A and B are shown apart, each in its own frame.
Chain A
Amino acid sequence: MAKKTKTTANTATTFSKETYLQWFEMMYRIRRFEEQAFMVYQVQRKIRGFLHLCIGQEAIYAGMMSACRPDDAWITAYRQHGTALAKGISPRAAMAELFGKYTGNVKGKGGSMHYFDASLRYYGGHGIVGGQIGLGAGIALADQYQGKDSVTLCLFGDGAARQGMLHEAYNMAMTWKLPVIYICENNKYAMGTSVERTSNVQDIYKLGLGYEMPSYQVDGMNPEAVHEAIAKAAQHAREGKGPTFLEINTYRYKGHSMSDPSKYRTKDEEKAYKEQDPIMVVERKLLSLGMEQTALDALREQINAEIADSIDFADKSPLPPATELYTDNYTQADYPFIMD
């Protein structure tokens, strides 16, 4: 029977200095990317539309990155810059996409919400809350069917956990033992709605228990805990034992998108999470492992330069030509569109 286990910072696995450094680098890259994108949106106004930031949630993507294989598939919702960078989409391609430029990872066609990269098995960036919960099971079915031992990491929010899709997909994923790892990024809010206000059950991992899916709560401010939970779930899936559900507790520091002043939450709540900031915690760990502060500062500078370059690249890149409207709608090259 599935049961709840609280993973804490005192994980059983010990990680090497290189792993911490890898986490630090990726988390800082994601944070810098998003902080700069935020500036470009607010000040230069060169990014338009929605921009959902994952600042505060970076430890999840760091832990996923180190616990997975490159051939594992990832799929998520619209709050996805961190997931995409951790999967290997370059800051240049990601930033250019935010600008709607032709050099973006989907030619400027998707923007902030719809990153895709088939070569990395990054299955997107989805805007309809909860839809990807079923898609993730489907990708896992394809891998299982074709005898591959890849797993699919399928992410969704605490708000998305309220869609009926979760129940239909969980039942089939368990019945068919699909190699999928469900990750609920519980950042406590769906837009302005807190978890308490939308459910009688507030421990979201419990939703898996009705299907006897192994279900756990994980500390999402800590890449060690995330890595360990995902590594275990991946092994379970690769052994043909089916899905796992991880409720990863985290916090978004910013509003839902750019127009949300986040009036619904308190400064104290924000402060409590910022005190466990994953980048800060991993930095301290690296220092305790003998890293020099100067080396970490130099790494930060290097990443700052990389992100500055991505903005410069995005800015100088061309917009897609209007003719691109009629490409990528059908695989059929000569599809007869209605033109009048």
Chain B
Amino acid sequence: MSRKIRLREALREAMSEEMRRDPNVLIMGEEVALYNGAYKVSQGMLEEFGAKRVIDTPIAELGFTAIGVGAATAGLRPIIEFMTWNFAVLAFDQIVNHAAKIYSMSAGQINCPIVFRGPTGAAGQLGQQHSQTFESWMANVPGLKVVSTVNPYDAKGLLKTAIRDNDPVCFMESEVCYSDEGEVPTDEYLIPLGVADVKRQGTDVTLVSFNKMVKVCLSAADELAKMGISAEVVDLRSIRPLDHETVIKSVKKTNRLVVVDESWPFAGVSAEVCYRVQKYAFDYLDAPITRVNGADTSVPFSSTLVDAWMPNPEKVIKAVKAVMYR
């Protein structure tokens, strides 16, 4: 049995089910309780679980993240909600210097089962400071796991796994997709971290992406089909660990690859995917890999500049034509 629910509901179900299952799971963040979440992800959770487990914090990202990390090392399994990942930058010290390293520093005596979650990426005309993606930043750090998805089915199964994971997991969503609907089973299910998903089968070219760029790839694939080009769309879902096997399997079939990643191009996820594919599927490539990223600039406010900055289906189609020499 399944039904259509929104991304925000899928995330909420994941958290609520895990909180019912394990009394040590709690959620903490700005506006999560009384206001029901800035984007209504935690709607109703205060009512069900009470103020002990659904905790409103002051605007003090470094402090409440540190409290979450400390609590995780002492037996709790906190979910730290960042209103957006742009604000998590203030807490990177705790995530990068502390959460990621405590297990190593303590020689395996103390682990840190914590989830840091919130929306990432550009969400329209919000300007330079509110339009950034952070997958590559976090995925660069050994000790952290990184998930990035906007698909309601994937989000629920992956978030439940992330909450049960014994290591720190950075979980990235998108505020422009919280109302997206998708089929989600009524029965419990889990999705393992580190497994990509082929969202559309194809034979001519592989499009690899994650988070809301998967939607861009799927609409590009629809257009490409009309031109007689069959595109396979691979959704990475987990960024670290990265399932390069699924990508390579697809490339071995299509012989062409375009990576679509909203992040900045320099040293990003797209660069990592390109490296692995050239290493493990070099002989299968019929054209150099191409990528479509957000522009190598800050994201300004004006609509013309946001449009110029963002990857979109047209840019993806152009890149596909380039790798197909069409």
Those of B34-71 within 8 Å (CB) of chain A: 34-35, 38, 56-63
Those of B190-247 within 8 Å (CB) of chain A: none
Cβ contacts under 8 Å, B303 to chain A: 48, 100, 319
Give Cα A110 to B58, complex, Å: 27
A321/B304 contact (C-beta < 8 A), A163-B60, A164-B60 known: yes
Give Cα A322 to B125, complex, Å: 15
Q: Which residue of B lies closest to A128 (CB)?
A: B129
Task: Give the residue of A111, A197, A326 whose beta carbon is less than 8 angstroms from that of B301.
Answer: A111
Task: Give the residue of A197, A264, A339 whose beta carbon is less than 8 angstroms from that of B296.
Answer: A339
Q: CB distance A198 to B297 under 8 Å?
A: no
Those of B73-119 within 8 Å (CB) of chain A: 86-87, 89-90
Chain A residue total in the interface (Cβ 8 A): 43
Those of A79-114 within 8 Å (CB) of chain B: 100-102, 107-111, 113-114
A337/B130 contact (C-beta < 8 A), A197-B34, A319-B303 known: no
Q: CB distance B304 to A264 under 8 Å?
A: no
Q: Which residue of A lies closest to B63 (CB)?
A: A164
Q: Which residue of B lies closest to A165 (CB)?
A: B90
Cβ contacts under 8 Å, B308 to chain A: 322, 325
Cβ contacts under 8 Å, A319 to chain B: 302-304
Looking at A64-72, A188-196, A210-218, A221-229, the stretch in contact with chain B turns out to be A188-196
Cβ contacts under 8 Å, A320 to chain B: 300, 302, 304-305
Q: CB distance B127 to A338 under 8 Å?
A: no
Does residue A121 face the partner (Cβ distance < 8 Å to B)? no
Q: CB distance B30 to A193 under 8 Å?
A: yes
Does residue B124 face the partner (Cβ distance < 8 Å to A)? yes
Q: CB distance A110 to B90 under 8 Å?
A: no
Q: CB distance B124 to A197 under 8 Å?
A: no
Q: CB distance B35 to A193 under 8 Å?
A: yes
Q: CB distance B302 to A159 under 8 Å?
A: no
Give Cα A127 to B130, complex, Å: 7
Cβ contacts under 8 Å, B297 to chain A: 325-326, 329, 337
Interface string of A37-64 (1 = CB under 8 A from B): 0000000000011100000000000000
Give Cα A162 to B130, complex, Å: 20
Interface string of B280-302 (1 = CB under 8 A from A): 00000000001100011110111
A322/B58 contact (C-beta < 8 A), A193-B31, A338-B266 known: no
Task: Give the residue of B265, B295, B301 whose beta carbon is less than 8 angstroms from that of A109.
Answer: B301
Q: CB distance A100 to B302 under 8 Å?
A: yes
Chain B residue total in the interface (Cβ 8 A): 41
In the complex, how many angstroms separate the beta carbon of A293 from the nearest chain B beta carbon? 41
Cβ contacts under 8 Å, B34 to chain A: 192-193, 197, 264
Q: CB distance B290 to A192 under 8 Å?
A: no
A338/B302 contact (C-beta < 8 A), A100-B125, A192-B31 known: no
A340/B63 contact (C-beta < 8 A), A49-B301, A191-B35 known: no
Cβ contacts under 8 Å, A108 to chain B: 300-302, 304-305
In the complex, how many angstroms separate the beta carbon of A134 from the nearest chain B beta carbon? 12
A322/B301 contact (C-beta < 8 A), A159-B58, A337-B296 known: no
Those of A241-288 within 8 Å (CB) of chain B: 264
Cβ contacts under 8 Å, A48 to chain B: 124-125, 303
Give Cα A324 to B89, complex, Å: 27
- Of residues B89, B126, B266, B298, which shows the largest number of chain A Cβ atoms within 10 Å of its Cβ? B126
Those of A108-143 within 8 Å (CB) of chain B: 108-111, 113-114, 126-130
Does residue A199 face the partner (Cβ distance < 8 Å to B)? yes
Q: Which residue of B lies closest to A113 (CB)?
A: B127
Interface string of A151-178 (1 = CB under 8 A from B): 0000000011011100000000000000
Cβ contacts under 8 Å, B63 to chain A: 164
Cβ contacts under 8 Å, A190 to chain B: 58-59
Task: Give the residue of B56, B125, B129, B291 whose beta carbon is less than 8 angstroms from that of A127.
Answer: B129
Does residue B24 face the partner (Cβ distance < 8 Å to A)? no
Q: Can you list 30 A-B contacts with CB-CB less than 8 angstroms, sorted by A residue number?
A: A48-B303, A49-B125, A49-B301, A100-B125, A100-B302, A100-B303, A108-B302, A108-B304, A108-B305, A109-B302, A111-B125, A113-B130, A114-B127, A114-B301, A128-B129, A130-B59, A162-B60, A190-B59, A197-B56, A198-B59, A199-B58, A320-B305, A322-B304, A322-B305, A322-B308, A325-B308, A325-B309, A329-B297, A337-B295, A338-B266
* Chain B positions near chain A (C-beta within 8 angstroms): 30-31, 34-35, 38, 56-63, 86-87, 89-90, 124-130, 265-266, 290-291, 295-298, 300-305, 307-309
Closest 6 CB pairs of A and B: A111-B301, A100-B302, A162-B58, A49-B125, A108-B302, A192-B35
